[in-house]
Amino acid sequence: MRTDPDCDVLVVGGGVIGLTTAVVLAERGRRVRLWTRDPAERTTSAVAGALWWPYRIEPVEAARAWALRSLAVYEELAGRPGSTGVRMVGGVLGGVRPEEVGAWAGGRLADVRRATAEEYPQGDGVWLRLPLIDMSAHLPWLRERLIAAGGVIEEREVKRLEEAEAPVVVNCAGLGARELVPDASVRPVRGQLVVVENPGIREWMVGDTAGSESTYFFPQPGRLILGGTAEEDAWSLEPDAAVAEGIVRRCAALRPEIGRARVLEHRVGLRPVRDAVRLEQGQFADGRRLVHNYGHGGAGITVAWGCAEQAADLATA
C-alpha cells in the first residue's frame, strides 16, 4: 500500500484519547496526522463531566498506573486553568473510605479526609481535591497544542483501518472500534447529563454510582453539570425527559438549591466500554504497524496521558 510521505503516524479518533495520543507523538518529533469523524466538540469526550477518578475501566492495576501518570500532568495543567480547562477542585466521594482512596492513589493525593455529616449526610464519604476538567476548554486546547507541534487534523469518516496510508496507525476510535477493527466486545454504556445554572455550588460531589442510575454534580465555569446514568447496550443519543427529571431530583436530594436551578442543556454520550482496555501493538497484513488504544469506558479523561505515552512508545519502538 502507498503511504503518505508527509506522515509518520496516523491517529484514528478525535476524542480525548486520540487527541492526547497525537499530542504526545507530535511532541516527540513524529509527523502526525489525525483523522476524526467529528470535531472534538461533538465527540463523546465533549459530554463528560469530567472528574479524574476511575470509573468503569479494567484492568485495575494498569489503569491505576495510567491514571497516576495522568494525574501528574493534570496537576501541572491546573496552573493554567483559563487555557487548559483543568482545575484542582475539592469535593466528596460518597460511599468511600480514606483507606480505599489511599489504596488506589498510593499516597499521591493530599488533603484526603473523612467527610463530615454536614458535607455528606448519607453515610461514609471522603473529602479530597481532584482534577476537574472543563472539556469545552480542554479539547480545543489539546487540538491547538497538536497543531502547534506540527500535527494535522482532518475530518473524515473511516470505514476500514486499512484506509490509513501511514507507516504506523494508532487506533483510538473508541466505540467506533466495534466496526473498524471489528471488535464486538466494545459496547456502549449510555450516559445522560443535565446542565443547569450554578446556584453557587463550588465543590463537586459523587454519590451512588453502582447501578444504572447515579448521582453526581460538577461545578464548571458558568454552569453545573448533573448526572447521571449508565445504561448498558443503549444506543440512543436523544435525551429522555423522565430520566432528566430523575437526575435533577437525585442531585437536589443532596443539595436542595439544585432543584430550583434553571436547566440550560441536556447531554447524552455513549461510553466505549470493554472488559479491558485494549492497548497493544499489532500489524496489518502488509506488515505496517498498528497500535490499538481504545475501550476506556467512562475513564478516558482519567487515564488519557498514561495511555497516550504507552501507545506512543508502542508506535515508535
In this predicted structure, what is the pLDDT of residue 102?
83
- 317 preceded by a cis bond (ω within 30 of 0): no
pLDDT score, position 105 = 86
Task: Give the mean pLDDT of 78-105.
Answer: 93
The reported pLDDT for the residue numbered 208 is 76
Cell of 134: 472543563
Which range among 63-77, 183-197, 198-212 shows the weakest confidence by mean pLDDT? 198-212
For the cut 60, the answer to whether the pLDDT of residue 244 exceeds it is yes
Please state the rounded mean pLDDT for residues 200-227: 93
Domains of the chain, CATH where assigned = 9-316 (3.40.50.720)
pLDDT of res. 249: 97
pLDDT digits (tens, 9 = 90+) for 87-96: 999 999 999 8
CA gap 251, 229 in Å, rounded: 12
Percent of the chain with pLDDT over 90: 86
CA distance 33 to 26: 9
Average pLDDT, the chain: 95
Look at residue 209 and tell me whether its pLDDT is greater than 80.
no
Residue 50, pLDDT > 60, answer: yes
What residues contact residue 175 under an 8 Å CB cut-off, 6+ apart?
44, 186, 187, 188, 270, 271, 272
Q: Is the pLDDT of residue 174 over 60?
A: yes
Q: Taking 90 as the threshold, does the pLDDT of residue 100 lie above it?
A: no
**Mean pLDDT on 17-33:** 98
The residue among 44, 102, 78 whose CA lies nearest residue 296 is 44
Q: What is the pLDDT of residues 102-159, one digit of tens each?
A: 888 878 997 899 999 999 988 899 999 999 999 999 999 999 999 999 999 999 999 9
Q: How many CB atoms lie within 10 A of CB 208?
A: 14
pTM to 2 decimals?
0.96
- pLDDT at position 182 is 95
Residue entry with cell 498498528 = 290
Min mean pLDDT across 10-24, 33-47, 254-268 is at: 33-47
The residue among 197, 194, 198, 214 whose CA lies nearest residue 266 is: 194
Selection from 5, 74, 27, 8 nearest residue 304 by Cα: 74
Q: With contact defined as beta carbons under 8 Å apart, do 269 and 48 qualify?
A: yes
For residues 27 and 4, the answer to whether their CB atoms sit within 8 Å is no
Fill in the amino acid letter for 149: A
Confidence band of 3 (pLDDT split at 50, 70, 90):
low
Q: Which residue has the higher pLDDT, 212 or 196?
A: 196
User: How sure is the predictor about 77, in pLDDT bands with cuts at 50, 70 and 90?
Assistant: very high
- DSSP assigned state of 5: T
- pLDDT at position 106 is 78
CA–CA gap between residue 288 and residue 37 (Å, rounded)? 23
- Does position 4 have pLDDT exceeding 60, yes or no? yes
Please name the amino acid found at residue 28: R
